[in-house]
Structure 1
Amino acid sequence: MNNKGAAAHKTALVIGAGGVIGRNLIEYLELLPEWEIIGVSRRGGDSSGRTRYVSVDLLNEGDTREKLGKLSEVTHIFYAAYQDRPTWAELVAPNLAMLVNVVNAVEPNASNLQHISLMQGYKVYGAHLGPFKTPARETDAYHMPPEFNIDQQQFLERRQPGSSWTWSALRPSVVSGFALGNPMNLAMVIAVYASISKELGLPLRFPGKPGAYNSLLEMTDAALLAKATVWAATDERCANQAFNITNGDLFRWNELWPKIAASFGLEAAPPLQMSLEEVMADKEELWSSMVEKHGLANNAYKDVSSWRFGDFVFSWDYDFFADGSKARRFGFHEFVDTEAMFMDIFKELRQRKVIP
């Protein structure tokens, strides 16, 4: 890795700047004086301070080359973009194409490109398919494709030899943090579900599969992940390595759920399996009335609800955790208490008037 020490000037190109991962990464980079930041997303953003935004359609090779090809100052690419599709197989083409388009656009002109950071997840271990080996380790064998996370990493592995840059792959569990309009934000799912339950005078019921209430799980705090991402991108020991990044503790919903209910002033009733995507489909009018009644920020219902993702996470009636010791062995020692993480996010959502 070609970094010239911690104080050397760096320029981060954050791909997927509007999501919970990208947004928290930018917030962390803004605290570090040696970084200039360029945020990339389809929507763009309002530039301020050391961060400027570029609106790019990453699926359009020409648009990507035109907008990103002239950014010769980039030293680090942080790739956290994601395109959702209905099936696992359909995810591969767009998500691989976006990464390839970014690298093809930036690499030829960014003469001081030092590192490409790739955001992955436990899909690498087949966690989305059913019960998988736990704790999952970075050395575990790949599973039968299709899997875009693996294809993306193999693209970087093929491209890197002979290059001036190295790569790293970060593998968080379910990531939680503040972000609106994000299709994979579990804390927001729980917060809006609990708020609507309270509005309707209902107790808080765990909606997932019966076995999921008792499974052993872990989470990854978005701010913790941001620190780990920058660490892996700037510590030469991490060159061309993958790392599981987790809060460092484990939990079961059967213990945490009643505490979450209490934080909303609710009782926790026995679990009842139901599809949030189905039962919450008709709640937009109710949400609009809650926004007016409680003086909330005027966020569209679709921007505060990720019911499909909630159903996905709450369906895991098997243990879901990885071994995070490799990152510690390589020098990253941060940790977060998961219960405190949820409570802090709920507090921020109330302060920002997203929920009552």
Structure 2
Amino acid sequence: MSHESTTAGPLGGTDPIAAAAREPGVALVAGSAGVIGAHAAAEYARVPGWTVRGAARREQSGTAWEPLRADLSDADGARADLAGAADTTHLVFAAYVERGDERQQIEDNTALLRNTLDALRDAPLRHVTLYQGGKAYGAHLPGFRTPARERDPRLLVPNFYYAQEDVLREEAARRGFGLTLLRPEGVVGYATGNPMNILMVVAVHAAISRELGLPLRFPGSHAAAEALYQVTDAELLARATVWAGSTAAADGEVFNVTNGDQFRWAHAYAAIARHLGVEHDEPQDFSLTSTMPMHEETWQRMVQRHGLRPTPYADLVRWQFGDFLFHSEFDNVSSTVKVRRVGFGECLDSIDRFTELLDRLAEQRVVPAAGEARAALTA
């Protein structure tokens, strides 16, 4: 499909659904139990004519796509588990494993991609989408050049993003399929039992603060509260994924994909407090990782009284992720000019989106609704 034949969307870019519907295929989303993967699979499932499968180690139920139980860390296992996906035309690779050792992180995550590509070696692959992130620019280090642009050079510091990209480009050149690399930052969305998600950090911290009758405080340093930050809505990223898989101009390219704005956590927390009807106070620098597990009993009482989903507390939020983001004291800004020039022009107001998604979590009974009364404090 030529780039010129794509349909203009309401924001002057490409309508992902209309573009993909012109040339239906079979999508396989690796890592479909995660926030990014689940949203990507759901978005592909909305496209008329497409067959969609989602591969994950955890059980998936009630999905709009065909679930596959797959262990991609083992080469032989991956071939067996993905045997039913031999007709895949579009691979969306969102699988990831966290490792404390950087060398092991590179080795294990590169193996996930290699094993998946090998398992699909006879599939009629037309396109592969691979996700990276701000670490490609050094967002995990003490400061980096902003706004980050796709043409910025790699870092000397090893990174599994680089290793995966090299593997993918080599395979694409050898086998003749297209590829696109998308770089989101701070993905905001929800997937059951997936705790590495800044939305859940904010939602659960705010809910417990309100339950205890406490003002909502940004749980990080003053400098981090005032630094510019950016996020990527999981639904927006999913639409960019479908767009990339059906747009010739995206082939071989790397694109930053964020909501298109920046904000300060100080302002976001103030807006969230107003939305929830609680007081707001100055930032208070403390460790979420050490503090929030001690409020598990409070959360369990909230689950019972408000009829919330009985997700194990340990699976609800990864507090370490919040501590990392909320102690980043430098601006985190990526340019999205490149992706907009090529045709994907969607954008969102991030603070407004936080409040919208908090309401959605309440509708799904993940957290209490903003209007529900908190319990009286007990001794």
TM-score range, shorter chain: over 0.9
Aligned counterpart, 1:78: 92
The equivalent position to 2:81 in structure 1, one of 43, 46, 67, is: 67
The residue identity in structure 1 corresponding to 2:45 is E
The equivalent position to 1:35 in structure 2, one of 37, 42, 50, is: 50
Shift of 1:175: 0.5
The residue identity in structure 2 corresponding to 1:332 is F
Counterpart Cα distance in 1 of 2:74 and 2:2: 30
Shift of 1:2: 10
Aligned counterpart, 1:319: 331
What's the secondary structure of 1:133's corresponding residue? coil
Counterpart Cα distance in 2 of 1:150 and 1:263: 41
Aligned counterpart, 1:133: 145
Matches within 5 A, 1:248-267: 248-267=260-279
Aligned counterpart, 1:188: 200
The residue identity in structure 1 corresponding to 2:182 is L
Q: Does 1:94 align with 2:74?
A: no
The equivalent position to 2:233 in structure 1, one of 221, 236, 239, is: 221
Aligned counterpart, 1:144: 156
Do 1:177 and 1:223's aligned partners in 2 also have CA atoms closer than 8 Å?
Answer: yes
The equivalent position to 1:56 in structure 2, one of 52, 60, 70, is: 70
Shift of 1:5: 7.4
Aligned counterpart, 2:215: 203
Question: Unaligned regions of 5+ residues in structure 1, if any?
Answer: none
Aligned counterpart, 1:279: 291
Q: Normalising to structure 1: TM-score of the pair?
A: 0.95
Question: Unaligned regions of 5+ residues in structure 2, if any?
Answer: 4-18, 369-379
Aligned counterpart, 2:33: 18
Counterpart Cα distance in 1 of 2:147 and 2:331: 9
The residue identity in structure 2 corresponding to 1:42 is R
Shift of 1:313: 0.8
Does the C-alpha gap of structure 1 residues 215 and 157 become closer, same or farther in structure 2, counting only changes over 3 Å?
same
Shift of 1:34: 2.3
Shift of 1:173: 1.0
Counterpart Cα distance in 1 of 2:20 and 2:42: 22
Shift of 1:97: 0.6
Do 2:21 and 2:47's aligned partners in 1 also have CA atoms closer than 8 Å?
Answer: no
Q: Does 1:46 align with 2:61?
A: yes
Do 1:212 and 1:314's aligned partners in 2 also have CA atoms closer than 8 Å?
Answer: yes
Moved more, 38-47 or 340-349: 38-47
Does the C-alpha gap of structure 1 residues 5 and 209 become closer, same or farther in structure 2, counting only changes over 3 Å?
closer
Counterpart Cα distance in 1 of 2:306 and 2:83: 47
Counterpart Cα distance in 1 of 2:42 and 2:337: 26
Do 1:2 and 1:114's aligned partners in 2 also have CA atoms closer than 8 Å?
Answer: no
What's the secondary structure of 1:204's corresponding residue? coil
Shift of 1:158: 1.8
Do 1:10 and 1:74's aligned partners in 2 also have CA atoms closer than 8 Å?
Answer: yes
1:37-78, CA deviations, whole angstroms, 9 ceiling, x for partnerless residues?
Answer: 0100001323666x2111011111111011114522100000
Do 1:207 and 1:314's aligned partners in 2 also have CA atoms closer than 8 Å?
Answer: yes
Do 2:29 and 2:55's aligned partners in 1 also have CA atoms closer than 8 Å?
Answer: yes
Do 2:20 and 2:242's aligned partners in 1 also have CA atoms closer than 8 Å?
Answer: no
Counterpart Cα distance in 1 of 2:289 and 2:280: 21
Aligned counterpart, 2:251: 239
Q: Normalising to structure 2: TM-score of the pair?
A: 0.89
The residue identity in structure 2 corresponding to 1:11 is V
What's the secondary structure of 2:334's corresponding residue? coil
Do 1:47 and 1:53's aligned partners in 2 also have CA atoms closer than 8 Å?
Answer: no
What's the secondary structure of 1:38's corresponding residue? strand
Counterpart Cα distance in 2 of 1:96 and 1:145: 16
Aligned counterpart, 1:115: 127
Paired residue total: 353
Moved more, 26-35 or 223-232: 26-35
Moved more, 72-81 or 140-149: 140-149
1:103-142, CA deviations, whole angstroms, 9 ceiling, x for partnerless residues?
Answer: 01102x11x2101110110111111112000000111010
Counterpart Cα distance in 1 of 2:102 and 2:57: 22
